[in-house]
Each structure stands twice: as C-alpha cells, then as structure tokens.
Amino acid sequence: MHVLVPLGKNQRCPRLTSNKKPDAAIMTPLSDHKQREAYLYVAPAALMVGVFLILPMLYTTLLAFTDWNGMTAPRFVGLANFFKLVADTNFTRPFVNTLRWMVLGVVLPVGLGFFFAYAISGLKGAKLMQICIYIPATISASAAGIVFGFVLRDQGALNILLDAIGLGALKVNWLYVQPYNTYAMIGAYTWQATGINVMIFLVGLQNLPKEPVEAATLDGAGGFVLATRIIIPMLMPYVVIASLLAVINSFKVFDTIWVMTGGGPARMSETLAVTMYKEGFANFKMGYASAVAVVISALSLVFSYLYLRNMLARESQV
C-alpha cells in the first residue's frame, strides 16, 4: 500500500528519473552507407527528371531570348520576342481561345465528372456504368478527334441527323465557323476527359465518412442540397486534384485541335500550344515559339497558384 505524504513548505517534488535509454534505432541517424544507398534509389528518378524536364525547361527559357531558326547559331535579342507577342495580332486570338479552353476545359469535365460519379454511386450496375464512362479516356486524343471530325464536318453525321428530323435550318459547318469550332473541340475533349474525373470523385465518395451524410439525410437534406452543402465541401481535396489536372491539360491540349481543324480556318481556332508548334516547326522561328512556351508555362503556374491559394484559404475557414 502506498501512502501519500504531503510536502513541507520548503520541500520540492523529487525529479523522476528513468534508467531506460532512448531507442538507438530512433535516435541514431542513418549511417553513411545507408545514406548512399538511399541516394542510389532516388538517383534514377532524379536523373530522368533533370534530363527530360528541368534541362529542356531551362533551355527553352534561354531560347526565348534569342532569334534562332533551328539551323544557324542563336542570336541574343533580349525581350524582343515577348514584345513581338504583345503586338502580334496572330497571338491575340490564340490567347483568347486558350482562356476559353481553360474555363470550359475545367468546368465541363470536372462538373460532369462529379455529376456522373454522384449519380451512379451506390446504384446497381454501377461498375458497368463506370466502364462505359471511362472507355473514352482509353482512346487517344487523335483518334477521338478523327471520330468527332467525321461527326461534325459539313456533311457529317450531326448535320445529316438534323436534316432527317426536319431541323435543317440549324445546320452549321461546325468545324469552320468561329466560335462553334472551338466549342466543338472542347466538347470532344470533355467527352474524353470526363471519365478520369468520374474515377477521381468515385474514390472520394467511397472514402467519405458516413455519419455527416446520414445526419444531413435525417435532417431532410437530399439531392441538390445534400450535394452542395455536405458532399462537395468534404470532397474538396479531390476537387482540387481534378481541377488542377484539368487546368494543366487545357493549356497543353494540341492533338485534338490539330486533328479536327489544324487551328483553322485562318488560325481562328488556334490555341497557344498550336501557335507554338506552327511558329517553331512550320515557320522555323524557334526563339519566338520558345517565348510562346514560356508564356504558356507562366499562365499555367499563375492560375494553378491562385486556384490553390483560394482553395486552401477556404479549407482553413471550414
């Protein structure tokens, strides 16, 4: 039996000590041999990133300040290529089209991805629906562009269908009239990109805690209210991932545009990625094309940073 003795006025509580030594495996740093071994595991991936990502980025940035046709020696021109971009009328329309792609290329695939994921989650036959929605994502963008090109051309399947049902007055040369051609290509891109977002949101829905959803359901929330007030706020990390991927992909989309319209007619459906290709590999203005590439990278970084900052600020307030 232990007896507690009160301390006197000038007495202090004895310091508790332990003879147990700290775990050496935790306290001791890695030996030099182990550190070298760890670096060897990381080295191949770091080498690949450095050779195929960082070095080309640095080289492209340096070329943006030169005048180079790909054959002669580059000539340093400072900011001349960027000033030319601002004054070039052929740059304005691709820039506006890129902004359209950025907005609609995020809203449509991400929005439809959440809608389909939320609609089929928990339904019988959901696996079959997932497969059907995801199949377009397994098709190459060039193949998808060819298919939609046959559907949307002047004598394509869509206009033939409109004639057949008596709506011939609505026929449009979808791939050669601005802005219909841009919207048609965004539609083809959305058809292909939605499946990936469905899978992202299905993973998120499966990992959601059930208690808040059940409590909201008991309180009478359902449908739109349940999705917007409960589900989407809890899915915010997945929304961030899907949106960032969509922003990056919308800036670099090329093959769909190149196959369906080639940026035409009269460069009216070009984006910055198509402009970069044409200036570099058709007009042999490598320095100017590199400046366009730098602008694309800067825009994607700025929009990604602003989006992340806004989303993180919202999460901190929850």
Residue 63: CA count within 13 A, CB half-sphere: 24
Q: Which pLDDT band holds residue 11 (cuts at 50, 70, 90)?
A: low
Spans of all domains in the chain: 100-261
Maximum Cα interatomic distance, the chain, rounded to a whole number of Å: 103
Model confidence over 142-188: pLDDT tens digits?
999 999 999 998 888 999 999 999 888 888 889 988 888 999 999 99
Model confidence over 52-66: pLDDT tens digits?
999 999 999 999 999
The answer to whether 147 and 153 have CB atoms below 8 angstroms apart is no
| Cα–Cα distance, 197 to 158 (Å, whole number) | 27
Supply the mean pLDDT for the chain. 85
Query: Does the structure show a pLDDT above 80 at 28?
Result: no
Closest CA to 240 of 54, 110, 149: 110
Closest CA to 189 of 236, 258, 118: 258
Model confidence over 232-273: pLDDT tens digits?
888 988 998 898 889 888 888 999 999 999 998 888 899 999
Q: Which pLDDT band holds residue 16 (cuts at 50, 70, 90)?
A: very low
Amino acid in position 125: G
| Tokens linked to 71 | 């054959």
Q: How far apart are the first and last CA of the chain?
A: 52
Q: Report, in angstroms and rounded to the nearest whole number, the Rg of the chain calculated over CA atoms.
A: 29
Query: Does the structure show a pLDDT above 50 at 27?
Result: no
Q: Which pLDDT band holds residue 210 (cuts at 50, 70, 90)?
A: confident
| Cα–Cα distance, 299 to 305 (Å, whole number) | 10
Number of H helices, E strands in the chain: 16, 2
Q: Which pLDDT band holds residue 70 (cuts at 50, 70, 90)?
A: confident
The answer to whether 106 and 243 have CB atoms below 8 angstroms apart is yes
| Tokens linked to 59 | 């080289």
Model confidence over 275-287: pLDDT tens digits?
999 999 999 999 9
Superfamily (CATH H level) for 100-261: MetI-like (1.10.3720.10)
